[in-house]
Structure 1
Amino acid sequence: MTETAASVIIASRHRPRDLLKCLKALEFQHHRNFEVVVVSDPSGCAAIKDSTFSGRVKLIPFDEPNISRARNTGLERAAADIVAFIDDDAIAEPTWLIRLIAPFEDQTVLGTTGYARGRNGISYRWTGEYIQPNGDVVPRNPAAPERYVHGADPVLMAIGMNCAFRASALSKVGGYDPNFHYGLDDADLSMRLAELEGATILVPLAQVQHISGPNETRSTAQVPTSMIEHGASFGWWSKKYDRSLDEFYAIAKKLWRDSIDPRLVRGDLEPKSARQLAEGFAEGFKIGQSRTRIEHRLEPAQAPFLRYSEKLKPNNLKVVPGYVWNRQDLYQRARDLARQNTVVTVMSMSPTSLFHRRFFHEDGFWVQSGGIYGKSDRKDPLFKWQTLAERVQREAVALSVTRP
């Protein structure tokens, strides 16, 4: 049976190192019949041209701080009938794409979206949300896929860092709305997609790790530096969907409570900086309210499909365990296995109760570090006595769900 062709679109801006890691992780996808379209600023374009990915991706220069226009530009170069999106600061699990596009065997499915783990690679950052008319969201966390029928069920958010669509459906709704430069772009697309007859599927095991790298609105430490574009997106949403100011203020207060207040308490933000962010948000809201509707029509792709890799499906997960003081030797073994097209996870452990974290190494392998007796799950006790072999076995079983 021929694998379904897919186009993976990555919009990148000012994060060339993250972009290269994202591309490296995609080499280990179990699904092999896909192309990669990268829409990037000059720094990302230069990084790709100087790397082994040169000539393997469709590279489109784009130097405008507008995520919606960037994604639409990628859509117009995508040759496959199924298009998937991943952020440049996200790392796809090896089974990400095969699980994300599997529901499209049902011709009534127009979109899918999956889960995202956070910076530590363990805790979930996003487990599904459906959208209320005022733009607020209700979290979900199902263990099995959920089907949201358009017109009958709530509107499922297809989160921009981990989603896929039928290209024909996106063409019908005109792609992403360019008036959403940053934020609410995916919520708006989900709302318009839900006007078409069909369904969107939440796929829990189609997973990525979202690093949440720095950008023009936040620092490396995740501290907000500007809220103007957030405010502009809320302003345009309020105007586009004719929402009342009372609804807007309720959502703005929730956003502030979740994003700003905790950082004030921790001391990450000074009160003066918080006031400046609030002023920027209010200024942005006015900018958004002044925007006018842009009719956007997606042009069909002209360039042929460019398969990302001719390699066969990667070998199943190989765990390389050991103590942290032997880390360099463990890493070298992992590099050698990765070059042989093997999915590798280094288990770098210490005889402590340190919490665990997972990350992807730029040389092509995953790493899990922490204490033999430490937590790798919220339900774990702070300390649990076990041997290195027992701990490695337990973690390997947990990883096998997304890295078989």
Structure 2
Amino acid sequence: MSTEAPTTSVVICAYTERRWEDLVAAVASVREQTVPADEIIVVIDHNRELAGRAAAGFDGVTVVENAGKRGLSGARNTAIGLAKGDVIAFLDDDAVAEPDWLAQLLAGYRDPRVLAVGGAARPRWPGGRRPPLLPARHRDREDGTGELDWVVGCTYTGQPVTETPVRNLMGCNMSFRREAFALAGLFTEDLGRVGRTPLGCEETELCIRLSQASPGARILFRPQALVRHRVTPDRLTWRYLRRRGWGEGLSKALVSRSVGAEEALSTERDYVRKVISLAVLRESVRLLRGDRSGATGVVALGTVVGATAGGYLRGKAARRRRLTGTGTPKLVHGPIHVATVDVRSLPRELTVPRRAVGHYRAAQVLVRDGDRTLDVLLLPVRDGVVRLDGVTPPGAAAPAHTGFERPLISVVIPTAHRKQQALGSVRAAQAAGYPRLEIVVVDNLPGPDGDAWLRAEVEKLGARYLAEPRKGVSIARNTGARATSGDFIAFLDENISVEKGWFDAVAEEFATDPEVGCVTAMVLPASLETDAEVLYERLKGYSHTVRRQRLDRRTVREDPLYPLSLARYGPGSCTTWRRTTFDALGGYDALLGAGTPAMSGEDLDLFVRLARMGGTVVHTPHAVARHTHRADWLELREQMRGYGVGLSAMLLLSVVRRPVTVFSILRRLPRGVARLGARTPELPLSDRAARSRLRQLRRDERYGLLGGPAALVRAASRHRFDAGSGHR
């Protein structure tokens, strides 16, 4: 934004004529601001009568109807699409802004790093006095806050009292720079209040997504930006306290699914441990001193916290049922249909093809909006049909950036035993629609004079053929990288096929963030026809998140295993590196990876070295590729053992390079071992044989850990450390 004062749009959403007087007061308070708003938008949520009354009653105000899904999130998204201001501020229809409210919000944007600013909300109690149902330290002070005031949509004890960066803002009093929605997308329409249903957290989820999309950005709470929020008598009952707590828990469960439980609950854990605990102690002391209000306070605190916890557990359970399909067997070890749908032409149902043997019981469905990924769902198949009429995407994806010059991207495809698949990978890359590619196929099992057939087939496709007789995928990748000229190098394994738009999505990340050294993609299975393929997806699939992730040194606060948690990065078999970053790291280590005794670990090793160098990895869900999993059970067992061997070999090599690393590894080891044995909820299994096979695969991986040190010694004896082979 420029140094001039930003233009502002103020948005007020309304849904019922019962709040007409409140809505009139809210609009009037915006008109009386010391810094006038450039435009006022009132969005009416699916109420024709109210829309007509508002259009007739408000001069100089843009009145529109919600064009999205019914609910507060859909109404806000409608306004965002219409707003012209540099800053978009949101005020509830039952809140009145202080005259300097907008000026105080805009003052927070003096720092260009600030992408969102919110303020405080003071309650307007019925009768002018705080009810005994909501405890507070200073019950008689007009400006006092209580621990449960969030239940009625107001600032509560535990929030900052001075200007402070926060995780998220309050929905009744918040504002965002316009570019925040380009970075994080819009409000999730599966969250947020619908009519009088006391759900919420849509602003929390959006703020967390914004921080994930732009970790250097700040979200600022300025209590000086004050609104007065009217509290109606129906919100001051035991029944409402229970319903509001329950709804908050349900909403938090949805948020944790979207952005991760660690982010979704970080503030809440401190709130319960510190704020609620002290409040219970204070109210208990009051009770012991003969003040009966203490008993009311203790019961109220227990009621809300208990209802919230119950709602959260219920929401997590509902998530598990939704993924497996309500009323269908939980058994998904059999064949699963793989499909892609676009919300722009979403059918009511998806017909699943018949199989020669057996039938599909579930479908993994990639939901996209054009070239942007929205979700990946596991849905039941009934009578050969997948019902899609109830599918609601979790929110709009951030729009693609188009105003950048497409750089040359060099594609390196190493191959050994699956050369036919390598040709398929070349064809998929060429069909992805990117205008500037150079593709090199590196034959890592060429024979003494190369493979004449593969050379001819590769050159027919307009790609280059290189022979690298020294065994090892790391050596093959390094050889291919040295033979290319692009500023960015995409490494695609022979069993990877990228989809249309893959290179554009990757190039977008590099163009919009110069600090990014590596971009990883969403990799989905090409097929889930055999038990081995399904079990691999269950254990090692990379479709665990559909949100963009930016991983750097800050990530260590979120994940105690970082930077040793490969799942946070995505697969090394489908990555794109900035050449300067790749060269600074020295490329892949030839002691690790397929084709060596260590069998794997080369991708995580490179990620870890990047993290220790202070580099940044971005995972984009919009670059989608398909991976051909091992279809044979015995091959899968060997692959899982190889993962264990490679992991321990990589850890040992890290210690050899830098002995002090041993302390970091030992600190993370217990959590890492626990995670290896953890049960992944996305593909629940109820079949005894399938569960037995799953346990066997975990044992294979753990046994492989024991063989890593010996494998590294054998690899070192085979490959001497010399500059020509790329070893350090």
TM-score bracket, shorter-length normalisation: 0.5 to 0.7
Give 1:26-45 correspondences, 5 Å limit: 26-41=30-45, 42=47, 44-45=50-51
Q: Say how many residue pairs are matched.
A: 274
Is 1:19 matched with 2:9? no
Conserved? CA contact 1:7–1:84, under 8 Å: yes
**Number of the residue aligned with 1:139:** 159
Is 1:10 matched with 2:4? no
Conserved? CA contact 1:40–1:63, under 8 Å: no
**Number of the residue aligned with 2:221:** 202
**Quick one: distance in 2 between partners of 1:250 and 1:23?**
37
Is 1:230 matched with 2:243? no
Conserved? CA contact 2:188–2:394, under 8 Å: yes
Cα deviations across residues 363-388 of structure 1 (Å, max 9, x unaligned)?
xxxxxxxxxxxxxxxxxxxxxxxxxx
1:12 Cα deviation from its structure 2 partner: 1.9
Conserved? CA contact 1:89–1:213, under 8 Å: no
Say which SS state the counterpart of residue 76 (structure 1) adopts.
helix
Conserved? CA contact 2:249–2:308, under 8 Å: no
**Quick one: distance in 2 between partners of 1:272 and 1:191?**
27
**Number of the residue aligned with 2:109:** 104
Say which SS state the counterpart of residue 35 (structure 2) adopts.
coil
**Quick one: distance in 2 between partners of 1:64 and 1:17?**
25
Give the structure-1-normalised TM-score.
0.55
**Number of the residue aligned with 2:65:** 60
Q: Which amino acid aligns with 1:172?
A: L
Is 1:123 matched with 2:223? no
Tell me the C-alpha RMSD between the 2 structures: 4.4
**Is the alpha carbon distance of 1:158 and 1:274 closer, same or farther for their aligned partners in structure 2, counting shifts above 3 Å?**
closer
1:250 Cα deviation from its structure 2 partner: 6.8
Amino-acid identity (%): 23
Q: Greater strand percent: which structure? A: 1
1:140 Cα deviation from its structure 2 partner: 1.6
1:61 Cα deviation from its structure 2 partner: 3.7
**Is the alpha carbon distance of 1:250 and 1:97 closer, same or farther for their aligned partners in structure 2, counting shifts above 3 Å?**
closer
Q: Which amino acid aligns with 2:55?
A: K
Deviates further, 158-167 or 57-66: 57-66
1:298 Cα deviation from its structure 2 partner: 6.2
**Is the alpha carbon distance of 1:96 and 1:13 closer, same or farther for their aligned partners in structure 2, counting shifts above 3 Å?**
same
Is 1:294 matched with 2:394? yes
Q: Which amino acid aligns with 2:13?
A: A
**Is the alpha carbon distance of 1:95 and 1:295 closer, same or farther for their aligned partners in structure 2, counting shifts above 3 Å?**
closer
**Is the alpha carbon distance of 1:266 and 1:91 closer, same or farther for their aligned partners in structure 2, counting shifts above 3 Å?**
same
**Number of the residue aligned with 1:159:** 170
**Quick one: distance in 1 between partners of 2:304 and 2:109?**
46
Q: Which amino acid aligns with 1:167?
A: R
Say which SS state the counterpart of residue 233 (structure 1) adopts.
helix
**Quick one: distance in 1 between partners of 2:74 and 2:24?**
22
1:108 Cα deviation from its structure 2 partner: 2.3
Conserved? CA contact 2:249–2:310, under 8 Å: no
**Quick one: distance in 2 between partners of 1:44 and 1:286?**
38
**Quick one: distance in 2 between partners of 1:252 and 1:202?**
17
Conserved? CA contact 2:87–2:175, under 8 Å: yes
Conserved? CA contact 1:69–1:176, under 8 Å: yes
Conserved? CA contact 2:68–2:74, under 8 Å: no
1:31 Cα deviation from its structure 2 partner: 0.9
**Quick one: distance in 1 between partners of 2:22 and 2:108?**
29
**Number of the residue aligned with 1:320:** none
**Is the alpha carbon distance of 1:287 and 1:21 closer, same or farther for their aligned partners in structure 2, counting shifts above 3 Å?**
farther
**Is the alpha carbon distance of 1:188 and 1:61 closer, same or farther for their aligned partners in structure 2, counting shifts above 3 Å?**
closer
1:117 Cα deviation from its structure 2 partner: 1.1
Say which SS state the counterpart of residue 82 (structure 2) adopts.
coil
1:63 Cα deviation from its structure 2 partner: 8.5
Q: Which amino acid aligns with 1:22?
A: A
Conserved? CA contact 1:115–1:126, under 8 Å: no
Conserved? CA contact 1:11–1:40, under 8 Å: yes
Unaligned residue ranges in structure 1 (runs of 5+): 128-136, 149-154, 301-404
1:201 Cα deviation from its structure 2 partner: 2.5
Cα deviations across residues 239-273 of structure 1 (Å, max 9, x unaligned)?
334438xx7997998899999xx99938999x999
**Number of the residue aligned with 2:209:** 192
**Is the alpha carbon distance of 1:208 and 1:250 closer, same or farther for their aligned partners in structure 2, counting shifts above 3 Å?**
closer
1:39 Cα deviation from its structure 2 partner: 1.7
1:203 Cα deviation from its structure 2 partner: 1.8
**Number of the residue aligned with 2:485:** none
Conserved? CA contact 1:113–1:201, under 8 Å: yes
1:207 Cα deviation from its structure 2 partner: 0.7
**Number of the residue aligned with 1:48:** 54
Conserved? CA contact 1:4–1:33, under 8 Å: no
1:179 Cα deviation from its structure 2 partner: 2.9
Conserved? CA contact 2:120–2:223, under 8 Å: yes
**Quick one: distance in 2 between partners of 1:189 and 1:236?**
12
Give 1:254-333 correspondences, 5 Å limit: 265=296, 283-287=314-318, 290=322, 294-297=394-397
Conserved? CA contact 1:230–1:284, under 8 Å: no
Larger Rg: 2
**Quick one: distance in 2 between partners of 1:158 and 1:100?**
12
**Quick one: distance in 1 between partners of 2:171 and 2:107?**
18
1:78 Cα deviation from its structure 2 partner: 0.7
1:167 Cα deviation from its structure 2 partner: 0.6
**Quick one: distance in 2 between partners of 1:44 and 1:158?**
28
Q: Which amino acid aligns with 2:296?
A: V
**Number of the residue aligned with 1:239:** 257
**Quick one: distance in 2 between partners of 1:170 and 1:159?**
17
Cα deviations across residues 188-208 of structure 1 (Å, max 9, x unaligned)?
222222231332322221111
**Number of the residue aligned with 2:411:** none
**Is the alpha carbon distance of 1:252 and 1:157 closer, same or farther for their aligned partners in structure 2, counting shifts above 3 Å?**
closer
Say which SS state the counterpart of residue 317 (structure 2) adopts.
helix
Q: Which amino acid aligns with 1:188?
A: E
Cα deviations across residues 9-53 of structure 1 (Å, max 9, x unaligned)?
1222223332121112112111114211122231542441342x1
**Is the alpha carbon distance of 1:219 and 1:70 closer, same or farther for their aligned partners in structure 2, counting shifts above 3 Å?**
same
**Quick one: distance in 2 between partners of 1:178 and 1:107?**
29
Is 1:93 matched with 2:108? no
Say which SS state the counterpart of residue 204 (structure 1) adopts.
strand
Conserved? CA contact 2:22–2:93, under 8 Å: yes
**Quick one: distance in 2 between partners of 1:220 and 1:111?**
31
More relative contact order in 1 or in 2 (CA 8 Å, sep 6+)? 1
Q: Which amino acid aligns with 1:294?
A: P
**Quick one: distance in 2 between partners of 1:54 and 1:264?**
50
Deviates further, 2-11 or 84-93: 2-11
Say which SS state the counterpart of residue 80 (structure 1) adopts.
coil
Conserved? CA contact 2:104–2:224, under 8 Å: yes
**Quick one: distance in 1 between partners of 2:180 and 2:307?**
41
Give 1:299-378 correspondences, 5 Å limit: none
**Quick one: distance in 2 between partners of 1:54 and 1:110?**
31
Q: Which amino acid aligns with 2:217?
A: G
